[in-house]
Amino acid sequence: MSLIRADHVSLAYGRQTVLSDVSLAIEPGEIVTLVGPNGSGKSSLVKVLTGQIRPDAGQVRRKPELRLGYVPQKLAIDQSLPMTVLRFLNLPRRRDPEAIRRAAAETGIEGLEQRQVADLSGGQMQRVLLARALLVSPELLILDEPTQGLDQPGEAAFYRHLERLRDSLGCAVFMVSHDLHVVMSASDRVICLNHHVCCEGTPKVVRDAPEYRALFGQGTQGALALYQHDHDHHHHDHEHDHQGHDHA
C-alpha cells in the first residue's frame, strides 16, 4: 500500500491555477524528488500532501496512522526569540530524552543542544529541523527545499545523509528541490512539476525527457560532479521496480 497518494489534485489561488490534475504516490522506502521551476506549484503540492491546504478538487489519501516527519522550507518561529535547540526539539510537545539523543546522533547535532536556535548556521539549522522530524520515527519524511542556503558541498553531504537515513530507518523520502542534477542523482524517482506532472521516472528517464529539457536545459553540473565524486556506496536497485510504476 502506498504511504501517501494524491489523486487528480487541483488547486487555485483566486484565478491562478497552481496545480492541475496532479496524481502521484509514494511507496515505502523510496526517495522521490519533486523538481520544477520557480512558481510551478511544488510548495503548494507539499502543503496539500501534508494537509496544510485543502485542494479544490481531487483528494489525498494517507496510509492509516501514517507517521509523517515534515521538514519545512523555513522555520515558522520568530528567530529573535531566545530558544535553545533542546527546547525547540521539545516543541510542540515534550519528547523522550532518549529519542532526542538518538535523533541528535543520527543528524550529527550532538553538542548543539544548549545553543540558541538563532545562532545556528544554515547547515546546522537544517540538521536540527531534520532531527525534529525524526522524533516521530517517520515512515515518510517530507522536506521542502531542505538545502536552501547551503553551499554545494553542504548540499551534497545533506543528500547523502538522507540516503543513509533511508537505509538505516527504512523511511521513504519525498523532497522538493530546484537544484536539479545533484538531488536527482540521490533519488530513486523524480517527478517534474510545472503545475501539472510533466514527466516522471528514474533520474535518467527524467533527465532525457524532452519536457524536462525544455524546462531546464542541461541544468547545473557542478554539484552533480561533487556528489558523484564522493559517492562511493552502492545504491539499492530501485530502477527496475519503478520503471512501470502504476499510479492508477
Ligand X SMILES: Nc1ncnc2c1ncn2[C@@H]1O[C@H](COP(=O)(O)OP(=O)(O)OP(=O)(O)O)[C@@H](O)[C@H]1O
Applying CB under 6 A, the residues found at the interface with ligand X are 13, 18, 36, 38-44, 178
Going by C-alpha positions, the residue among 5, 22, 14 that lies closest to residue 57 is 22
Residue 5 in grid coordinates = 497518494
- Crossing angle of helices 152-169 and 222-230, in 10° steps, is 50
User: How would DSSP label each residue in 172-241?
Assistant: EEEEEES-HHHHHHT-SEEEEEESEEEEEESHHHHHH-HHHHHHHTT---HHHHHHHHH--SPPP--HHH
Distances in Å between the alpha carbon of 104 and those of 6, 39, 174?
32, 34, 21
Residue 221 in grid coordinates = 553540473
Separation of alpha carbons 2 and 201, rounded Å: 17
**What stretch of H or E contains 17?**
strand 16-26
Q: What is the DSSP-derived secondary structure letter of residue 119?
A: G
Separation of alpha carbons 227 and 229, rounded Å: 5
Closest separation in Å from C-beta 16 to ligand X: 6
